[in-house]
Structure 1
Amino acid sequence: MIDQARLGSYLQDHYAASAAGIELFRRAADQQSDPSTRSALSVMAEKVETEQATLGHYLAAIGTKPDPVKNAGAWMAEKLGRFKPNGELIRRSPLSDVLELEALRVAVEAKAASWRVLRSLSGEVDRFDAGELDGLLADADQQLKELEELRMQAAARVFRQQSG
């Protein structure tokens, strides 16, 4: 038997984290120095927003809704994460391109972990659609692959450019 309260709290945590992830995707899509990276991240941001809505449906399926306190905390944590100099005080550091892509990879890894948990419970929770969750996992795997390619391209640009 599924502990609905614990599962609800778990899903609320992931929903709140997804809100912070969406903010990070949007910011990275706006501020990455490479135009093709900005474009790819804009597409991913839209996908992540759709996935958050799907997560909201899973919350509703177990009779829970997003927790505004958790959402506010995650939102604030994402905003506070912006206040790090990365070697520059006045302008955006080129290092931010790499660090943002790494943070996005971590966020997508966490999202995939939650989809795997829900998939493992799909046989016990009627409204958890195994096929849909398999698709969400496949999407997360593709996002991870694309983010890794973008991250390595950014690292090559940032760490191999001439100083001065």
Structure 2
Amino acid sequence: MIDEGRLGTYLQDHYAGSSAGIELFRRAADQQSDPVTRTALTRIIEQVDAERVALERFLAAVGSKPDPVKNAGAWVAEKLGRFKPNGELIRRSPLSDVAELEMLRIAVEGKAAGWRVLRKLAEDEERFVVAEFDALLKDAAAQIEELEELRMATALKVFRRPG
């Protein structure tokens, strides 16, 4: 038997994180200098939006709902994260492309950690379906792999000198 209160709080935290993550994905997709990266991030945004709907279902299954205070805090934290010096004062630094891809990968890894917890709980909890978490974990692994490829390609472009 699960502790619905604690699991609800845990899911609220992940939901707030997904809210911030979606904001970061959108900003990164809008501002990335590479069109291939922009297209990939836009596709991942659709997946993350669908996962957020799944999180809402999981919250409801334990008698909880998204916490507006946590969501607002995550939103503010994402906005504040934009104000970091990257060596440029007036225009966007190429370092921002690398840093954002790293943050996105870390966010997806955090999401996958949450799916692993829920998958384990689903083994003994009829309100959750193991196969759904297996699919979510598979998607997260693919997202991590794609983000890592994009991150490394971007880093090589940014850090290698021309010629």
Scaled to the shorter chain, the TM-score interval is: over 0.9
Q: Percent identity?
A: 69
Instruction: Please state how far the C-alpha of 1:137 moved relative to its aligned partner.
Output: 0.1
Alpha carbons 1:12, 1:66 under 8 Å: kept: yes
C-alpha distance in 1 between matches for 2:142 and 2:54: 18
Unaligned 5+ segments in structure 2 are none
1:55 corresponding residue in structure 2: 55
Unaligned 5+ segments in structure 1 are none
C-alpha distance in 1 between matches for 2:140 and 2:146: 10
Instruction: Please state how far the C-alpha of 1:40 moved relative to its aligned partner.
Output: 0.3
C-alpha distance in 2 between matches for 1:43 and 1:67: 27
- The RMSD of aligned alpha carbons is 1.1
Q: What is the TM-score normalised by the length of structure 2?
A: 0.97
- Name the count of aligned residue pairs: 163
Poorly superposed stretches of 4+, deviation over 4 Å: none
Residue identity matched to 2:11: L
C-alpha distance in 2 between matches for 1:64 and 1:80: 28
C-alpha distance in 2 between matches for 1:21 and 1:83: 16
1:21 corresponding residue in structure 2: 21
2:38 corresponding residue in structure 1: 38
Q: Deviations over 1:67-90 (max 9, x none)?
A: 000000000000000011211111
Q: What is the TM-score normalised by the length of structure 1?
A: 0.97
1:103 corresponding residue in structure 2: 103
Alpha carbons 1:2, 1:124 under 8 Å: kept: no
1:3 corresponding residue in structure 2: 3
Instruction: Please state how far the C-alpha of 1:121 moved relative to its aligned partner.
Output: 0.2
1:89 corresponding residue in structure 2: 89
C-alpha distance in 2 between matches for 1:125 and 1:11: 15
1:73 corresponding residue in structure 2: 73
